[in-house]
Amino acid sequence: MTTKDTVYIALFAALTAALGLIPQITLAAGVPITAQSMGVMLAGALLGAKRGGLAIVLFLALVAIGLPLLAGGRGGAGVFFGASGGFLLGFPLGAFVIGYLFDRHRTRPPFALALVYVAGGGIGVVYLLGVPWLAQVANLATQQALLGSLAFVPGDLIKVVLTVLIAREVRKALPDL
């Protein structure tokens, strides 16, 4: 791990925090979407498995020690026990998986494949941890928790597309990231 890697990890932890400052948009039916999870997707897509995953671990460590860096100014150890705690723990794993999939290509993966990678890690992996956790915290059956979480998928899909489009252009400008 070089100094440059450390600086990139810090930068993407900060980026994920800064994305939480963007006011949330409310979709139809009152479902809020925030830009924060785009930080997770971008970290994986641009930094790769190890650095991307560590950037999000660092971000969550800062949240856990009480800095209000989550969207809506939330922070502190309590958020990990809350209804979305599992989704938060899914973030670094999601970034890692996205990075792992991108790392398997010597150059940039084709557009359609990149969409699949980012959706798989950024939605699939994150929900895989988040939904059972939600079910546990709220005393619900997993299917019921899943049904409730589906409302957030359209917003997440928009973020997947934006991430892939941005990551392509950034990689073009900085090929040896």
* 154 part of the interface to another protein, by CB under 8 A: no
For residues 171 and 164, give the distance between their C-alpha atoms in angstroms, rounded to a whole number.
Answer: 10
How many residues bind another protein, per CB under 8 A? 52
> Which H or E element spans position 43?
helix 36-47
Among 28, 29, 112, 141, binds another protein (CB under 8 A): 141
Among 28, 107, 169, 175, binds another protein (CB under 8 A): 169
Of 89-97, 125-133, 149-157, 168-176, the segment contacting another protein by CB under 8 A is 168-176
CB 38 within 8 A of CB 52: no
In degrees and rounded to multiples of 5, residue 70 shows phi and psi of: -75, 155
| Closest distance to another protein from the beta carbon of 177 (Å) | 7
Of 76-84, 97-105, 108-116, 120-128, the segment contacting another protein by CB under 8 A is 76-84
| Closest distance to another protein from the beta carbon of 113 (Å) | 21
Among 27, 62, 116, 157, binds another protein (CB under 8 A): 62
* 2 part of the interface to another protein, by CB under 8 A: yes
Give me the long-range contacts of 114-119 (CB less than 8 A, separation at least 24).
114/45, 114/164, 114/167, 114/168, 115/160, 115/161, 115/164, 117/45, 118/41, 118/44, 118/45, 118/160, 118/163, 118/164, 119/156, 119/157, 119/160
For residues 15 and 43, give the distance between their C-alpha atoms in angstroms, rounded to a whole number.
Answer: 9
Binding site for another protein (CB under 8 A): 1-4, 6-11, 13-15, 17-18, 21, 42, 58-59, 61-62, 65-69, 72, 74-83, 137-141, 144, 148, 162, 165-166, 169-170, 173-174, 177
